[in-house]
Amino acid sequence: MNRSIWIAALLVPLSLVACDRPTVVTAPPTLVAVPGPVVEVPGPAVAVPGPAVAVPGPAGPQGATGMQGNDGNTGATGSQGMDGNKGNKGDTGRSGDGTTVVVVRPAASAPTN
């Protein structure tokens, strides 16, 4: 018990110090006045409040056209389709008229050389 009080007494200030974070201060960027032609305007001089405004220069020339990209890879073969539906059952044929037809095969002819 006696040691735990001392250990707690040492850990509390350390944990409080660990929570202290310094404030980050960022400086605003500096503006550079661009010299230009002086235009005289008749009348009294009027003071415009605020810093000088930087004016961008003219646009540069257009860049060259890029090269064509590579062809993509061929896709994978698709899976086989499902079996189709079975057809409807056919109608029953009509009965014969009592005539029987016999078909006789002709005799094989002799081979010729």
**CA 8 to CA 84: how far, in whole Å?**
80
Reported confidence tier of residue 82, pLDDT bands at 50, 70, 90: very high
pLDDT band at 22 (very low <50, low <70, confident <90, very high): low
Residue 54 has pLDDT above 70, yes or no: yes
- The separation between the first and the last C-alpha atoms of the chain, rounded to the nearest angstrom, is 125
Mean of per-residue pLDDT scores for the chain: 79
pLDDT of residue 48: 67
101 or 21: which carries more pLDDT confidence? 101
5 pLDDT more than 70: yes
